[in-house]
A and B are shown apart, each in its own frame.
Chain A
Amino acid sequence: MTASKLTFPQLLDRLATTSGDEAALQEKRYGIWQPITWSGYRQRVRRFAHGLASLGFKRGEVLAILGDNRPEWLISELAAQSLGGLSVGLYPDGIVEEVEHVLSHAGVRVVVAEDQEQVDKLLALRGGGRIGGVEWVVYYDPHGLEHYDDDCLIEFPELERRGDELERERPGWLEKEVERGEATDPAILCTTSGTTAKPKLAVLTHRNLLSMGAGLMEVDPIDRRDEYVSFLPLAWIGEQMISVACSLQAGFTLSFPEDASTMQSDLREIGPRLMFSPPRIWESLVSSVQVRLQDAGWLKRASFRWGFKVGRRVAEARIRGGRLGLSLRLAHGLAELVALRPVREQLGLTRIRHAYTGGAPLGPDVFGFFHAIGVNLKQIYGQTEICGIAVLHRDGDVRYNTVGTPLPGTELEIADDGEIRLRSPAVFAGYFRDERATDDAVDAGWLCTGDAGYLDDDGQLVVIDRAKDVMQARDGTPFSPGFVETKLKFSPYVQEAVVFGGDRPYVTAMVSIDMANVGTWAERNSLSYTTYTDLAQKQRVYELIGEAIARANEDLPESVRVSRYVLLHKELDADDDELTRTRKVRRGTINERYAPIVEALYDEGAESVAVKTAVTYQDGSRVERELDLRIQAMNGLALSRDDVRDDVGIGV
């Protein structure tokens, strides 16, 4: 029987039977990787499913899960699905309003929460009567919760014990429940990243997710040896895709890092063969190489530059499909030895077979970087509503400006207004209890993505941007602010950038600096500073960012070059609603909140703009402060041309 006729719990049963003794999950605890086998995984899912049943969890009910990536997260999800229910993941760093919205909209009765931080969040909401429907909060990290005595709290292992009792009363009952599951049952609710308003909940069935996984694996065979490190939020469709939909079909091992602070070294220890991350992870990997290079001695730097150049020529030759000359092959062998392999090793990417980026566009420079160092990074295009993957680069045909061609079984068309539309078995079952939104999104089986794009001469899809975000420059060229922003973010010193200019005479940018990297740079250049705000307003930091913008401008058409910019006094933050949880810019909020800054960017007389900031002190008191942000014009900067363009293209 093919996988897409089954449910996830049924697939788990199959793996527990065929490869019961192999590691399914492993978590680093106490400094040691602690594996759970497939049969152990199933056993824990069974116990927890019985536990949920003892709380009256029913077919079709929604279980909410709120926490970092741990085995318990997946065990809870599979347990809910074993009973014919579904799960919804919440971002652990989500603000209370998001949690409230999802819990009450989905009518959640039982929440699985990780630790004290999450439990506090829930108890506060519950105490305020805002999530009256929640009856049980199950937690699995008891530290600090020893003295809590709310009736709704229950510890994970305790619920497993209750499950054991129920299992003794009703032997064989759960097997029947699992068998009753149909592939067309809803499996998860997934919050859409919602660059606008409150997140919507997409209903995805087992069949949706599995057909997407099967499509992916038809293009790139993934097998049980393809280890994967799970560190991105499981509430995100991308992580669900790999950790649930692909892992349960291919049977590979998932590893959970010990802690956010050890993620990088845990990644190196595992050396994953499969990796799927949004652009910000790839960008931060590039930044870490750039920063290390700046701290390295001249010999290392020189050998990396040379090796990188060779690597880039090889990557370009491969993309063009040409043959490599003997001298280039020899040079590449040496470059591998002295430069490329060591860098891959540092990043934990030596064993990588399949590397994907998705969720947002990745800048061509970052793409080029990974191909030059020998990581076959490929772009995925999709949305939550189509289980994350619909279009994908193929091996040997990776172009940095396209997202590739549709997966097998996926149809693609460009509507008359330029909107990308997709149709496949992975198109979702609709938004949860929101028929109107569903009707807007799905038209006779076609998913209207809301993205503007076109097919290039070879039939590869080029995505411009969200249709409503696409802007027109003065001379009528359509341009994507996202593309310009991505180019700016290639600089390790730029944390986030927002570009304006649709209905304006020229293009401007609002930039927030990367505190860690600019801070290191400042230290090395004997520039003293106190706070983020102070650092961001230094003339020399303005010049530093100006150089980064000049570098980005060189690759942009004349009419969409950034001509004025401002450095923001704070980082853009998802907690302030300025970014989505997947770190996409919320243009609406930003246009509204920073309206005076945007006005000043277009007021050629303005040299600075006053902004009000609210500082909240530890004791809860708030003080409003006013400060001036400088506006800098690009033509007012004296940049040393040597710095502007480095032949490695990464400014070292």
Chain B
Amino acid sequence: MSRAYRHQLNGSDVERGKVQLEAEGVSLSFGAVKALSGVSIKVRQGDIHAIIGPNGAGKTSLLNCTSGLYRPQQGSIRLLDGKVRELTRTRPSRIATWGVARTFQNIELFRHMSVLDNLLLGRHVHMRHNLLNALVYVGAGRRQEIEHRELVEEVIDFLELQAVRKLEVGRLAYGLQKRVELGRALCMQPAILLLDEPMAGMNAEERESMARYMLDVNELAGVTTVLIEHDMGVVMDISNRVTVLDFGNVIADGTPDEVAEEPQVVKAYLGEQ
């Protein structure tokens, strides 16, 4: 019996390098405040695609439009996974079932539940229960339960959460909670993973291990990752594509090296002389 994982964590059928998520002319405003003005981005399968920019540049707004929390007034965001699916006029719960998983800047876990239960919750979109077979642990309901637990256990192994499996999430160190949140997103077997500042508030050691896990998720599990991050060092190290936003506009897009050369980016980050 091989020790290899039995489940694929990557839920995407798109070929590596093909465009998987496409935003076109997305504009969003709150009253007179323009959060996004005509933003266009292409995310390719298999990339770690970083979205960077100063505070208030519209990074989180873009992510919220993608996961359905905000509705942009103009433009479209399409998931090109098998079918072409428009995300801008869709309920968040629907988008989740299409394989868009995310984590939040502030941890959004169930603090009083165990790590295991929080992760099992990530399986929610894949559960096909009716009340009856969920209540009586037999037949198909039982098979499904075992299957889900098995996948969750593979994620626990992958992210090395064995020692905290049964602990209450609220009792864990902050860095560990962030890892649990990443784990819950992975349990969805996502087609695409949206991470909103996964390293905010972490110490150096925690950041380093988080970066390692993000690379593993991308390289070993093959999951496309869209990443918002402030730490430029991390962005330059681990991402292979970077989009820079400033005041709701895309000011640069390319590989980390290309972007770092852009005068506009330097200006946005360091200010003008």
Contact A141 B153 (CB under 8 A): no
Cα(A142)–Cα(B2), bound, Å:
8
- Chain B residues closer than 8 Å to A143, beta-carbon distance: 3-5, 158, 220
Q: Which of B218-232 contact A (CB under 8 A)?
A: 220
- Whether A155 touches B2, Cβ cut-off 8 Å, given contacts A30-B150, A144-B220, is yes
Contact A31 B3 (CB under 8 A): no
Cα(A258)–Cα(B154), bound, Å:
13
A259 at the interface (CB under 8 A from B): yes
Cα(A156)–Cα(B3), bound, Å:
9
- Chain A residues closer than 8 Å to B156, beta-carbon distance: 30-31
Chain A residue at minimum C-beta to C-beta distance from B165 = A31
Contact B3 A261 (CB under 8 A): no
Contact B220 A259 (CB under 8 A): no
- Chain A residues closer than 8 Å to B165, beta-carbon distance: 31
Report the 6 A-B pairs with minimum CB-CB distance, sorted nearest first: A30-B153, A261-B163, A157-B2, A259-B162, A142-B4, A262-B163
- Chain A residues closer than 8 Å to B162, beta-carbon distance: 31, 258-259, 261-262
Chain A residue at minimum C-beta to C-beta distance from B220 = A144
Q: A31-B156, A140-B3, A259-B162 are in contact. List 12 more A-B contacts (CB 8 A).
A: A30-B149, A30-B150, A31-B116, A142-B3, A142-B4, A143-B5, A143-B220, A144-B216, A144-B220, A157-B1, A258-B162, A262-B163
Q: Which of A30, A142, A261 contacts B157 (CB 8 A)?
A: A30
Interface of A is mostly: loop
B160 at the interface (CB under 8 A from A): yes
Q: Can you give 15 A-B contacts (C-beta < 8 A)?
A: A30-B156, A31-B153, A31-B156, A140-B3, A142-B4, A143-B3, A143-B4, A155-B2, A156-B2, A157-B1, A157-B2, A261-B163, A262-B162, A262-B163, A265-B163
Q: Which of B160-209 contact A (CB under 8 A)?
A: 160, 162-163, 165
- Chain A residues closer than 8 Å to B4, beta-carbon distance: 142-143
Contact B220 A141 (CB under 8 A): no
**A128 → chain B, closest Cβ, in Å?**
25
Interface of B is mostly: helix
- Chain B residues closer than 8 Å to A31, beta-carbon distance: 116, 153, 156, 162, 165
Task: Specify which of B150, B156, B163, B220 lies most central, judged by the most chain A CB atoms within 10 Å of its CB.
Answer: B163
Interface bits B118-156 vs A (CB < 8 Å: 1, else 0): 000000000000000000000000000000011001101
Q: Which residues of chain A have a CB within 8 Å of any CB of chain B?
A: 30-31, 140-144, 146, 155-157, 258-259, 261-262, 265
The interface size bin for chain B is 10 to 19
Cα(A144)–Cα(B149), bound, Å:
22
- Chain A residues closer than 8 Å to B149, beta-carbon distance: 30
Cα(A159)–Cα(B164), bound, Å:
35
- Chain B residues closer than 8 Å to A30, beta-carbon distance: 149-150, 153-154, 156-157
Cα(A140)–Cα(B153), bound, Å:
18
**A69 → chain B, closest Cβ, in Å?**
14
Cα(A266)–Cα(B220), bound, Å:
29
Cα(A146)–Cα(B163), bound, Å:
26
- Chain A residues closer than 8 Å to B216, beta-carbon distance: 144
Cα(A146)–Cα(B219), bound, Å:
11
Chain B residue at minimum C-beta to C-beta distance from A30 = B153
Cα(A123)–Cα(B3), bound, Å:
21
- Chain B residues closer than 8 Å to A144, beta-carbon distance: 216, 220
**A457 → chain B, closest Cβ, in Å?**
49
Interface bits B1-32 vs A (CB < 8 Å: 1, else 0): 11111000000000000000000000000000
**B186 → chain A, closest Cβ, in Å?**
15
Cα(A144)–Cα(B1), bound, Å:
18
Cα(A262)–Cα(B157), bound, Å:
12
**A326 → chain B, closest Cβ, in Å?**
44
Contact A146 B220 (CB under 8 A): yes
Cα(A309)–Cα(B131), bound, Å:
58
- Chain B residues closer than 8 Å to A262, beta-carbon distance: 162-163
Cα(A517)–Cα(B131), bound, Å:
50
**B117 → chain A, closest Cβ, in Å?**
13
Task: Specify which of A31, A141, A155 lies most central, judged by the most chain B CB atoms within 10 Å of its CB.
Answer: A31
Chain B residue at minimum C-beta to C-beta distance from A144 = B220
Cα(A30)–Cα(B158), bound, Å:
11
Chain B residue at minimum C-beta to C-beta distance from A158 = B2
- Chain B residues closer than 8 Å to A259, beta-carbon distance: 160, 162-163
Cα(A144)–Cα(B212), bound, Å:
13
- Chain A residues closer than 8 Å to B5, beta-carbon distance: 143
**B34 → chain A, closest Cβ, in Å?**
41
Cα(A157)–Cα(B4), bound, Å:
10
**B162 → chain A, closest Cβ, in Å?**
5
Cα(A141)–Cα(B154), bound, Å:
13
Chain A residue at minimum C-beta to C-beta distance from B166 = A31
Cα(A141)–Cα(B4), bound, Å:
7
Chain A residue at minimum C-beta to C-beta distance from B216 = A144
- Chain B residues closer than 8 Å to A261, beta-carbon distance: 160, 162-163
**B123 → chain A, closest Cβ, in Å?**
15
- Chain B residues closer than 8 Å to A155, beta-carbon distance: 2
- Chain B residues closer than 8 Å to A265, beta-carbon distance: 163
**B235 → chain A, closest Cβ, in Å?**
16
Cα(A157)–Cα(B1), bound, Å:
6
- Chain A residues closer than 8 Å to B157, beta-carbon distance: 30
**A636 → chain B, closest Cβ, in Å?**
37
Cα(A105)–Cα(B110), bound, Å:
56
Cα(A262)–Cα(B163), bound, Å:
5
Cα(A142)–Cα(B154), bound, Å:
13
- Chain A residues closer than 8 Å to B116, beta-carbon distance: 31
**A558 → chain B, closest Cβ, in Å?**
46
Cα(A140)–Cα(B160), bound, Å:
18
**A436 → chain B, closest Cβ, in Å?**
43
- Chain A residues closer than 8 Å to B160, beta-carbon distance: 259, 261
Chain B residue at minimum C-beta to C-beta distance from A155 = B2
- Chain A residues closer than 8 Å to B150, beta-carbon distance: 30
Cα(A259)–Cα(B164), bound, Å:
12
